[in-house]
Structure 1
Amino acid sequence: MTGKRDRDTIVWPGERKPSHSRVFPNELVEKARTVFQKRTSRKLTNEDARQMLENLTGFFRVLHEWDRAQRKSERNSRGDDAEAEN
């Protein structure tokens, strides 16, 4: 077998690195796991906690983007109105 894997090769769960965009410090992941564990009966892993942190970060990133877009739109509206009055 060569070093390449074809589409039909089975990749077992610990064989591949998770594909995520951000690296959270282990201490933060552990703390998040402790916090989230209190809210579920299922045993959470550090990967579960990392994904939850990723989701929370993404959620707040979207809220921030919406807020910036709204503020920009409001500034543009006020600018357009001020130009129309002159």
Structure 2
Amino acid sequence: MEEAAEKRYAVVTGANKGIGFGTVKGLASKGATVVLTARDEKRGLEAVGKLAEAGLSELVVFHQLDVTDPSSVSSLADFVKTKFGNLISWYDI
């Protein structure tokens, strides 16, 4: 009997360009649901649009994040908990 595949989720910071963008694309291409974050909302949404053009719109969502702003980090944590049901850090693994 084949076991059901475990659903994977990821949050990638600074993901509107460069390595972060490539990481989101790679993770989503492998079937993970990814929260693409960026400080600049416009740039973040543009990055999500590029990924949608690549057929990954169902697997990538955007949330604004400035890692230097505690309220922004808290907002992201609340978003992840609400949308996906829990939040686990790689520190917890």
Same fold (TM over 0.5): no
Structure 1 or 2: more strand by fraction: 2
**Structure possessing the higher radius of gyration over alpha carbons:** 1
Normalising to structure 2: TM-score of the pair? 0.24
Normalising to structure 1: TM-score of the pair? 0.25
